[in-house]
Chain A
């Protein structure tokens, strides 16, 4: 069965600092990996996705993630945090033709002045 683990339910960074949100996956077959963001009182929105090909994936709002098979990781980064980045971030995995997206438990990002 596929799963993702997000390390840290809460992360706090200063505005302008590096954002690093951690995600490790478990899958017996090559996974498709995703990061979604949920702003307060809104639904989830796709930030970026990895399917095949280039392992460094760029998404919206300056975020990127790198697929590292040897580490079974797909960490999300952003060089410089902005106040508007405060939200909950979810890592998700899907394998093959399965319809189900399996989400992690989420990481709440707080950005302070």
Chain B
């Protein structure tokens, strides 16, 4: 199956700093989602981005499908940004369903 690697695995930043999280995947995909998992385990949809760049407030994402990677940018970090960030490429399974494969995650800690 598809392999999904995220980097860095852990990131500790001061409040106000900017960061770039990377997601590499080993095969072609139909789409890709970025999620933020908060300390309570809730998964928050951030972006649904098969290619190109999207922006939502302090966050933006870029997917270059032909080169099999996606980037998540977080600017002016806040303590509420802490948590684990997952990318999840989406492909058609052998059964004809679309399925997500979650990456290894980046654990982000923002220090006040």
Check if A and B associate.
no
B residues contacting A by CB (< 8 A) are none
A residues contacting B by CB (< 8 A) are none
